[in-house]
Every structure is written in C-alpha cells, then in structure tokens.
Chain A
Amino acid sequence: MSEAINFHYVVDGDDFTSAGEASVDIKRKLRQLGVDPAIIRRVSIAMYEGEVNMVIHAEGGTVDVNVYEDKIEMILSDEGPGIANVELAMKAGFSTAPDYVRSLGFGAGMGLPNMKSYTDGMEIDTKIGVGTTITMVVNLK
C-alpha cells in the first residue's frame, strides 16, 4: 500500500464568500487522480459544509484531506467554541448561527446532517472552549 497524499488547506475565518475555496480546489485534485465524479461531489459538498461551519462558528480553521487508495479522509480542525450538545447539533434544522448569518442564506441547521449523509463515516471530537475536530471518511471502493 502506497502512502496517502495530503492536501492541506487553511480556511480564513473573516470572510463568508471565501468559504468553499478548499472544496473547489479539492475537486480539481480528485479529478486529476481519476476519482469517480459522484464521489468527488460527495467529498466536495461535505467539505464545503464543514468549511462554512468553521467560518460561521470558529473563525476559520484547517482542512486536511488525505487520499488513500481505498478512501478519502477529511479532517477539519478549528479552535472555536466547541459544540455543546453534539446530538442536538446533528438534528436537521437545529442551528446556533446568529441572525446575520441566517440572513445571508447560511445557518439553516443542515450542515452537520449533510456532512454525515454525504460521507461513509464521521467522527466529532469537540471540547468546549478548545475547539472541534471533525473527521469524515468517504470510501473509494
């Protein structure tokens, strides 16, 4: 088994409009690797949701995408406030996003549920006041 390829992205927390740059770039990379378009789409959507979450709640963070021969792993880390109630956060429609965020069309409470539904596995590691790390896996085979 050959080693994984890592793509590292820094998500800028200041700017909503820049959220999604990493998920755009990863699409190109995965296409170059010859990954199935349907899988690329799932990875990219899940990652986009994660990026937006980091901008809304945590003033940005980092995304590491590791491509293995049989799976794609996305690790999204931030040093934000942490998620108080993970179970609640996973509920479709539940959102703690402030009003101004909602007025921009974000914060519909679909981020985490979407991330889970588009991936084959998702783990949330969060600590209040320390930050959140979300690891998502999409299988290639």
Chain B
Amino acid sequence: MSNFIHSVSLNVSKCKGCTSCLRRCPTEAIRIKEGHAVIDSERCIDCGECIRACPHKAKKAVCSPFEKINEFKYKIAMPAPTLYGQFNNLDDIDYCLQGLLDIGFDDVYEVSYAAEFISAYTRLYLKKEDIKKPIISSACPVIVRLINLRYPSLCDNIMPIIPPMELAAIFARQKAKKKHPELKDEDIGVCFISPCPGKSSYVVNDELGKKENVDVVLAMNDIYFRLLAVMKGEKTPKPLSKSGLLGIGWAVSGGESSALFSDKYLAADGLENVIQVLEEIDNGKLPELDFVELNACNSGCVGGILTVENPYIAKAKMQSLRKYLPVSGAHPDDKIPNEAYFENVNCFKPIQQFSDNMQESMRLMSEIQTVCSNLPEIDCGSCGAPTCLAFAEDVVLKGADINNCIINMKDYLLQKLEEKKDESYDS
C-alpha cells in the first residue's frame, strides 16, 4: 500500500547515513541513499526499531502536538494503561486521571476499561469450533502489519476485533453524547495517549477501512511531563478509574493472555522473538495453543518508544499498582458494537513477489543469485542496503549501481593501481 502514511520522521540534517537503523529494520525497509536513510513505505511496519537504533537522534515518532486538542470543543483523554506505569509512587490511578482533567481535558476514558471487553469477547470466541487456532491477538498494529507482510498465510489466525484503543474511542464518544446531547460529532475530540508510533499510524491510515474513532494521537512522553507539573497529590482526586487489574494488565506482555483464564497461551515480545514464534506457527510447529499474544516492543506496550520509564521498572510499578484493584471493572451496560468486529485485515499486501509471472520471477531470481555470488557476503551496509543479498536484489530489481559495493570497488581500484605500477615499470 503505497499511500500509507507512516509515523516515523527523519531529520535529514542529523542523519549521518551510519547504517545503525539499516541493520535493525526487521522488514529491510531502509536504504541509505545520498548519505541518509530512506524508508520504503511499502515495507515499513512502523515498529519504531529505527528510532531506537539511531545514535544521532535523527529519527522521531510523529504524533500530534498537544495544542491540537484545542480544535475540539469537548476533549476526551484516552490513556493507554502504560501511562500508569510511568510515575514514581503512584498508588492510585485516579491521581493520573485527575491530572489529565487538570491539564485541559474535559473527560477521561481508560483504554484498559475497553480492553476488558475485548478479553471477555476473546474468552467466548476461543470456544468456537470453526476457528483457525491459535488465535493471534490483533492488539498490536505492528504485529498485524508484520503478519500481512511476511506471513500472509497466518492472516486468518488474527483475532477479528478492533484493538482496545479503538473500542475505547467508540465508548468514549457514546458516553460524551449521552452526557452532553448538544455536542455534534465534530465537537468531540477523542485523544489517545500513545506509547508508540505504531498506534499513531494506525489511526492516521484508517487501517481497517472503517472510519477510525480516534481523532488525535498524543505522545505519552509529552503528556507525562505535563502531568508531572499538575500531579502533586495535594487534593483528593475524583474517583474516575473504572478498570480492574485485567484491563491494566494489557500494558505488559502476557497481560492480555492472562485475562483469558486459559493455560494454552503463549506471549512473546520484542520483534526478534516475535518473528521466531511466527515462523514456528507458520511451520505448524507449535504445541496445541488457543491464543498467541505478540507485542512488537520488549516487555509489551511498556517498552514503547514514546514511554519515559524503563520497561522493566514500569512493569514492576504496574504490579504494585494492580495489587489493590478489582479483577475486572467492566460494566454490564456497555456492549461491544457490531462495528468492532471485522472479517479480515487486508490493508497491507505481501509485496515480496518479484513479478506476477513465475518464469520472469525465476529469471530475476537467478540474476540476483549471480550478482550475489560476486559480493563479499559481509553485510557491511556501506552500499546502503542491509545485506549483500538485499543489495543484489536492489541491483536487479531496482537498478541500484553495483559499484556502490565499496569492498569490490576497493579490490578493483587496487588492481588498477597495480596495473598502473606495472605499466610505469615497463615504460
């Protein structure tokens, strides 16, 4: 999908073309061209690994500026549960939610509350007979894109329900309209406080082909500092939080699974680990499992690139925060609307195929093999491609200049130099 808008931006003047991001990209979407990184929009899954890897701080996650909320008459803050793990000595979520009101929001709506509905639905869904197991969580948009791109045969395994933030947005909007019937749709601004750029581009791109319900995506680290200024604990906060420990648990890898009350699950986090697990599922090599929870970031959402706290410390903080919560806070009056279910996610298409014609693909493949066999196989990245193989593919498929391989170029020049020497001796 070429018109996909990504949420990673590059400051060209800061980028030194150093290849750090090139090596870390799980989909080989980055090339170094003319001295700086270029992202292939078709391959990028917005995981944020390149932002993490950049030593020059040239890459940034794109979110909306805080001021954007002022475009709406009625502003609803929707914190991801990860937010609660960012603070020191927070013993009551209400302080955090009260803080959101104090910095300018009219209402708050917890994503963790909606997450409990998705857990409840998943528990029922897993009992169905005609589903392809294991069911893979649809909560992390990066994983859903990765599956579409690299494991198309696993698309049917994806849990067919929107992620918690989307469901929360639907609920939040309904609640606002009930409370203030005078509000028009465009008056309401649903503002998601995100731990990662992956969720940001999810909103921007209307990924399910349905109208997205989130209006603004704000960076968690931006909101964090604004909250610090107002969260002094001087007054008793309003009792705002409605979620239980199951919903809050979604912030950490394994949390979504543990809310299923089943022991036939697997939870993996960090892209490298996730890819290994997907390979195993693809090969049918998994023990009998009902559910697979995959998170692109280490430790889950607490490891998102827009968080402030170290993911393991955040995890520990969430544990103590969950201690005195009810199991689940889900209220029986709210119901998951029909629009929350979907047939399949097909925003990303597998793009690895060389050509629609197999004969042509085979010709290209053998050309790539020939080019590759003459490359040094050290994957140094100096040519601008992540591996020698990727470079060979670029040469054959995209017309990259074979002379960009500096190792081969060096040998060639040395050889020329020798020839010149010999010539000068001869004469």
A107–B85 Cα gap in the complex (Å)?
45
A-binding segment of B216-224, B282-290, B415-423:
B282-290
Helix, strand, loop or mixed for chain A's interface? Answer: helix
Known: A31-B353, A34-B358. A5 touches B153 (CB 8 A): no
Binding stretch for chain B, among A20-28, A55-63, A76-84 = A20-28
What 0/1 pattern do residues 354 to 384 of B give for CB contact below 8 A with A?
A: 1111110111011001000000000000000
CB-CB under 8 A from B363, the residues of chain A are 2
B283 pairs with A45, CB closer than 8 A: yes
The smallest beta-carbon distance between B357 and chain A, in angstroms, is: 8
* B 243-289 contacts with A by CB, 8 A: 279, 282-285
Contacts of B355 in A (CB 8 A): 34
In the complex, A3 Cα to B367 Cα: how many Å? 12
* Per-residue interface assignment for chain B, residues 326 to 367, with 1 indicating a CB less than 8 Å from any chain A CB and 0 otherwise: 000000000000000000000000101111111101110110
CB <8 Å contact, B365 and A32: yes
Interface of B is mostly: helix
B-chain residues with CB within 8 Å of residue A138 when the two chains form the complex: none
| Per-position binary interface string of chain A over residues 7-26, scored 1 when its CB falls under 8 Å from any chain B CB and 0 otherwise | 00000000000001001100
A23 to B285, CA, bound (A): 12
- Answer yes or no: A33 CB below 8 A from chain B CBs: yes
Judge whether B152 is part of the interface by a CB distance below 8 angstroms: yes
B365 to chain A: which residues have CB within 8 Å? 5, 29, 32-33, 67
* CB atoms of A67 and B153 under 8 A apart: no
Chain B hits for A33, CB < 8 A? 353-354, 358, 361-362, 365
Q: Is the CB of B352 within 8 A of A5?
A: no
Q: Which residues of A contact B279 (CB under 8 A)?
A: 20, 24
Task: Collect the chain B residues with CB atoms within 8 Å of residue A41's CB.
Answer: 153, 282-284
Closest to B361 in A: A33
Question: Within residues 28 to 67 of chain A, which ones have a CB less than 8 A from any CB in chain B?
Answer: 28-29, 31-35, 37-38, 40-41, 44-45, 48, 67
Does residue A123 face the partner (Cβ distance < 8 Å to B)? no
Which chain B residue shows the least CB distance to A35? Answer: B358
Distance in angstroms between the alpha carbons of A37 and B350 in the assembled complex: 11
Is the CB–CB distance between A5 and B282 below 8 Å?
Answer: no
Q: Residues of A contacting B369 with CB < 8 Å? A: 5
Chain B residues lying within 8 Å of A29, measured Cβ to Cβ, are: 365
Is there contact, CB below 8 Å, between B359 and A2?
A: yes
Note all chain A residues with C-beta closer than 8 A to B283.
20, 23, 41, 44-45, 48
Choice from A2, A32, A44, A140 contacting B282 with Cβ under 8 Å: A44
In the bound complex, how far is the Cα of B154 from the Cα of A41, in angstroms?
A: 11
Chain A residues positioned under 8 Å from B361 (CB to CB) = 32-34
- How long is the Cα–Cα vector from A33 to B396 in the complex, in angstroms? 14
A125 contacts the other chain (CB 8 A): no
> A residues within 8 A CB of B284?
41, 45
User: Would you call A120 an interface residue if the criterion is a C-beta within 8 Å of the partner chain's C-beta atoms?
Assistant: no
